[in-house]
Amino acid sequence: MRFSDLPPPREVPPSSTSASTRIGTALPAVENASPRSAIEGTNGERGPSGHPRDFADVHHESLGPPATTSFRLRHLFNPARGWFRRIERGTNKFLSHHVFPRIPGISWPYSRALERDLAVSEASINLEGLDDALAGLKLLLVSDFHAGPFLAPDALQRTFGRLMTLEPDLILLAGDFATVRLEEVEPTLSAYRGLSAPLGVYGVLGNHDHYTGQPEALVQMLETTGIRFLQNRSVMLETGEGRLWLAGVDDLLCGDARLDDAMEGWADGTPSLLLSHNPDVFPEAVDRNVSLVLAGHTHGGQWRLPGLPVLVRMSRYRLDEGHYKAGNSQLVVSRGLGATGFPFRIGCPPEAVLLTLQPSRAL
């Protein structure tokens, strides 16, 4: 089904006694859902939805059944303060600030790889309590863009154009818009303006967005493109009798993630979505019976030999990529679009995730 006639999402106002009032001004109300923007192709030919036909087909694959997770901590790996992450983070920042931008043509190899290797992983997700009015809702999850020396802005725009041919009803952007500098994002703004969906485009910040030292300015810049940021906030998506909560939290490592603030006002029994850059919010989400958590951050390892475990894990709970289940909650982790550290991926092609939501009496 299509949702082009849906009313705009209703924001959940923060309680006057809640800490969420510290976040700032309320999210602006969404006007009537704008038609999906089409990015012009080279020949101008368009399909029935108004999108160009000249993009190469995107490889589709199944996300697979959910894996059961036990939340076993990696005690020797602390992604916030551990020695490995301090070295990796410092090296990444130095190279991205002072070395990579000075290498001519460095954006060409990865930009070409992104367009050549992009995969769309698909799955049907059953949500307990989802009303039939929302059955078939198509949710597009995209993460880890990493604007900067490795990614040419026109490659990102073409990639978004291809993804828009999927005609999602809701688009969720799971952070890491930048690599280390605010200036990296500005050339990509026209690409983000091409994203549009009847239920809206929502985002949260990632750890690299905080590396810029100007996360608030980054949010303001990206909101000019039509993205609504859910930094410890929530909205309720409605159509007829169908209701779906959507919340977002700030980055777990470098931001100020407040899950209780994000979930304030949620009604019991209403299916819920939580957008987080880092998948390690999942144990807390399970405790609060969040229906579905959507995340990125891990890059699937970025460098991975076939048949072997992830070489560099970014999740303390080994939530590397794909579909997970625990209790009454599910988690989907995307490998993301971009790359950091070095401009290539091994065994972890760039990925966007397309989920179709369906009602279920039980998970």
The per-residue pLDDT for 84 is 64
C-alpha to C-alpha distance for 285 and 273, rounded to whole angstroms: 10
C-alpha to C-alpha distance for 66 and 337, rounded to whole angstroms: 22
The per-residue pLDDT for 293 is 98
* 54, 38 contact by CB (below 8 A): no
**Sorting pLDDT into bands at 50, 70 and 90, what band is 347?**
confident
* 215, 178 contact by CB (below 8 A): no
**Sorting pLDDT into bands at 50, 70 and 90, what band is 82?**
low
Q: What share of the chain is helix, strand, coil (3-state, %, to 5)?
A: 25, 20, 55
Mean pLDDT of all residues in 22-47: 33
**Sorting pLDDT into bands at 50, 70 and 90, what band is 32?**
very low
- DSSP H or E run through 248: strand 242-248
C-alpha to C-alpha distance for 23 and 102, rounded to whole angstroms: 38
The per-residue pLDDT for 69 is 78
Mean pLDDT of all residues in 304-308: 76
pLDDT, the chain, mean: 81
Task: Please name the residues in contact with 122: beta carbons below 8 A apart, sequence gap of 6 or more.
Answer: 60, 61, 62, 63, 353, 354, 355, 356
Amino acid at 74: R
Pick the residue with more confidence: 345 or 64? 345
Quick check: pTM over 0.85? no
Pick the residue with more confidence: 297 or 30? 297
The per-residue pLDDT for 198 is 95
Alpha carbon 147 to chain centroid distance?
A: 14
Q: 238-272 burial string, b = 16+ CB within 10 Å, else e?
A: bbeebbbbbbbbbbbbbbebbbebbbbebeeeebb
Tokens of 89: 């983070």
Pick the most confident of 51-60, 70-79, 196-205, 320-329. 196-205
Tokens of 256: 């100020």
C-alpha to C-alpha distance for 114 and 70, rounded to whole angstroms: 33
C-alpha to C-alpha distance for 92 and 222, rounded to whole angstroms: 24
C-alpha to C-alpha distance for 322 and 296, rounded to whole angstroms: 10
**Sorting pLDDT into bands at 50, 70 and 90, what band is 3?**
very low
The per-residue pLDDT for 1 is 33
Tokens of 279: 């998948």
* 16, 151 contact by CB (below 8 A): no
Residue with tokens 């703004």: 189
Pick the residue with more confidence: 229 or 89? 229
Pick the residue with more confidence: 349 or 2? 349
What is the tens place of the pLDDT at every residue in 126-167?
A: 999 999 999 999 999 999 999 999 999 999 999 999 999 999
The CA-based angle 293-247-252, given to 5 degrees, is: 65
**Sorting pLDDT into bands at 50, 70 and 90, what band is 209?**
very high
* 137, 3 contact by CB (below 8 A): yes
Q: How many Cβ atoms are within 10 Å of 168's Cβ, its own excluded?
A: 26
C-alpha to C-alpha distance for 321 and 185, rounded to whole angstroms: 25
Q: By three-state DSSP, how is residue 116 classified?
A: helix
| Max CA separation in the chain (angstroms) | 56
Q: Would you say the C-alpha torsion 176, 312, 106, 162 has a positive or negative sign?
A: negative
Mean pLDDT of all residues in 53-78: 69
The per-residue pLDDT for 83 is 62
Q: How many Cβ atoms are within 10 Å of 84's Cβ, its own excluded?
A: 12
Phi, psi (degrees; rounded to nearest 5) at 319: -90, 75
Task: Classify residue 189 as exposed, middle or buried by CB count within 10 Å of its CB (0-12, 13-18, 19+).
Answer: middle
